[in-house]
Amino acid sequence: MHIHIENDASAPQALHLNMQHLQQQLDAHPQLRGHFTLSENSNAAHTADFLATSDILWSGRKLALDTFSAPRLGWVQVMSAGVEQWLAHLPQGVTLTNASGVHGDKGAEFILMAALMFNFGIPGFLQDQAQRLWRPTFGGCARGKTVLLLGVGGIGAAAAKLLTAQGYRVIGVTRSGQCDADVARCIRIDAIDDVLPQVDVLVSTLPLTPQTEMLFDRRRLDLLPARAGIVIVGRAAVFDYTAMREKLCAGELAGAVLDVYPQEPLPVDDALWSTPGVVMTPHCSLDDHSAYLEGCLEVFIDNLVRFRSGHPLHNQVDVARGY
Amino acid sequence: MHIHIENDASAPQALHLNMQHLQQQLDAHPQLRGHFTLSENSNAAHTADFLATSDILWSGRKLALDTFSAPRLGWVQVMSAGVEQWLAHLPQGVTLTNASGVHGDKGAEFILMAALMFNFGIPGFLQDQAQRLWRPTFGGCARGKTVLLLGVGGIGAAAAKLLTAQGYRVIGVTRSGQCDADVARCIRIDAIDDVLPQVDVLVSTLPLTPQTEMLFDRRRLDLLPARAGIVIVGRAAVFDYTAMREKLCAGELAGAVLDVYPQEPLPVDDALWSTPGVVMTPHCSLDDHSAYLEGCLEVFIDNLVRFRSGHPLHNQVDVARGY
């Protein structure tokens, strides 16, 4: 069988998988040794040629697969967690596995940081600092505060563990209302309206699917108390950023720690840059380039072993639910 | 015996101890019931009268005790952790106990937050945001990074526990080089120069004493790597703020999360307000007004029981070492 590696020429070298590296990993596994031929490409002009003869694809860049002829292709391993752009172009019969889990360690630390920043009023104190205002407030501990955690996948489950260990009361939100993560309780996504008024910190790790798109429209954002802070590390299109910005300007939210945006890079003239209470990181806070490639490769090698032995793959995207 | 309560008229009501509240606490303890008379005052014009006949003083404000006649006074319980202003005016033979430990829970959370903020480059991203610059960086996890924790008392020990649980390598610094806290190792305060080049986050919870004053002068600050962030929640005078500010402006430090300042409130024209990489909170991040009075009262009641039974008091300030 042939595995083709498609790298993104514009990505940093640390995210390129080279054939030799993969070959070493294959050689190290008795179940994988000698069973695969490999190719590698980062020139978009040659992608079609490689796909024509590949059985398995490792891809470091987004491809509209249905615009290629890939008659033998059965499985694609991608390097991202969010896959909505892949799903829009996925030929029938092709299995898609993502990088879910690889962002967990760093993502959980970021979410914990953001939750603590709200507890200590950092978004407000940054505004005071800019105006040279000395206005102390003497609130309580973070412990015992309520975090509503939208999505309890790789990132969400890792965050739940840290937040719960820190004494937060974590309410997980999933499609089914069930999860194995370290949460106080878990609710269905269609039951969130009832709990929004209790929330101190709203964290979204949600993927973009038909069910999550614009889930947090103006009406739902209005259900949050003014003390609530919002952390968004999943897909931006789950939130109405305009409504969120207007609420921040009106003092109807405590702040927002954001890593993702409706358009990236965020246009220079976007009002979000200077919205009071917004702390921005440029879509990098969950990615650790020193460990990212190895993390994805671990998922891939594990799946190759499962593939060879006929077991179902891990991180397989469910086309119907969209993640 | 007579216990006098001196409240600070300018402090919020949540920090005033009233006689009825203390009386209830005394009545609830068999060893304390019926042994004390009480008085309460918040008018500075009457303080001298009360001190003239008091055996024990609970004080919510700073007093230059040596300017009063207090012939019976043997013990003072204060509501702060830092006591350098008390020590400068403490008559011989008067025992001083402080509020060490009361700031631990909230202080530890603040320190963890600040350490994480450095890991995620928040001080730098705040500057980028102000200039509408999109410049992602893809660094690693906080786990495994090195925190040098100056002072391992009530706040420091609580912080060590959280930081260590989070995977930080915590090096404690104490006068003796020994501590019971949850640290990877503990060193003497006069051995810090050797470890400064390894530090990712420098946290100071140090009190102000002759040994700590200006401990971090320009020479010592210069031993820190440019990636290091500084968190100061102990006394400000331990650091040369001017040198620190100059290093921040020169990009020789990653940032500073500060709760204390050489002068408070920080003067409006102080250059620190707009120094790149500085995140400021106005000396409030360790005090939880909803729990502070009860925390101090717990220390006091415990000590009253120890006092009655002839045991050494907890939180007793060592006049020679200054904390």
Give me the interface pTM, i.e. the ipTM: 0.94
Residues A263 and A303 both lie in one domain: no
Q: Which residues contact B87 (CB under 8 A, 6 or more apart)?
A: B96, B317, B319, B322
Residues B62 and B86 both lie in one domain: yes
Are B125 and A281 an interchain contact pair (Cβ–Cβ within 8 Å)? yes
Residues of B in contact with A138 (CB under 8 A): 12, 284, 287-290, 292
A114: alpha, beta or left, given left = phi > 0 and alpha = psi -120 to 50?
alpha
Residue-range definition of the domain harbouring residue A111: 104-280
Mark which residues 160-219 of B lie under 8 Å from A by CB.
Answer: 162, 165-166
Question: What per-residue confidence (pLDDT) applies to B256?
Answer: 98
Are B282 and A112 an interchain contact pair (Cβ–Cβ within 8 Å)? no
For residue A286, name the pLDDT band (cuts at 50, 70, 90): very high
Question: What per-residue confidence (pLDDT) applies to A276?
Answer: 97
Q: What is the CA radius of gyration of chain B?
A: 21
Are A109 and B120 an interchain contact pair (Cβ–Cβ within 8 Å)? yes
Residues A144 and A56 both lie in one domain: no
Low-confidence residues of chain B: pLDDT under 70? none
Residues A147 and A14 both lie in one domain: no
Q: Is A262 touching B (CB cutoff 8 A)?
A: no
Question: What per-residue confidence (pLDDT) applies to A162?
Answer: 98
Question: What per-residue confidence (pLDDT) applies to A46?
Answer: 98
Residues B141 and B239 both lie in one domain: yes
Are A282 and B105 an interchain contact pair (Cβ–Cβ within 8 Å)? no
Residues A54 and A203 both lie in one domain: no
Residues A143 and A169 both lie in one domain: yes
Tens digits of residue pLDDT in A63-114 = 999 999 999 999 999 999 999 999 999 999 999 999 999 999 999 999 999 9
Q: Is B140 touching A (CB cutoff 8 A)?
A: yes
Residues A230 and A258 both lie in one domain: yes
Tens digits of residue pLDDT in B236-270 = 999 999 999 999 999 999 999 999 999 999 999 99
Are B125 and A268 an interchain contact pair (Cβ–Cβ within 8 Å)? no
Domain at A27, CATH number: 3.40.50.720
Residues A123 and A195 both lie in one domain: yes
Residues B85 and B176 both lie in one domain: no
pTM exceeds 0.90, yes or no: yes
Residues of A in contact with B123 (CB under 8 A): none
- Which residue of chain B is at minimal alpha-carbon distance from A12? B138
Check the CA dihedral A194-A195-A200-A206 and report its sign: negative
Are A126 and B279 an interchain contact pair (Cβ–Cβ within 8 Å)? yes
Residues A299 and A271 both lie in one domain: no
Using CB atoms, which residue from A120, A162, A273 is nearest to B285? A120
Question: What per-residue confidence (pLDDT) applies to A207?
Answer: 96
Question: What per-residue confidence (pLDDT) applies to B115?
Answer: 98
d(CA A248, CA A234): 20
Question: What per-residue confidence (pLDDT) applies to B81?
Answer: 93
CA atoms within 13 A of residue A22's CA, in its CB half-sphere:
27
Question: What per-residue confidence (pLDDT) applies to A211?
Answer: 94
Question: What per-residue confidence (pLDDT) applies to A59?
Answer: 98
Residues A309-317, mean pLDDT to the nearest whole number:
95
Residues B23 and B80 both lie in one domain: yes
Q: Which residues contact B203 (CB under 8 A, 6 or more apart)?
A: B111, B114, B115, B147, B148, B149, B150, B156, B159, B230, B231, B232, B233
* Structural domains counted in chain B: 2
Question: What per-residue confidence (pLDDT) applies to A60?
Answer: 97
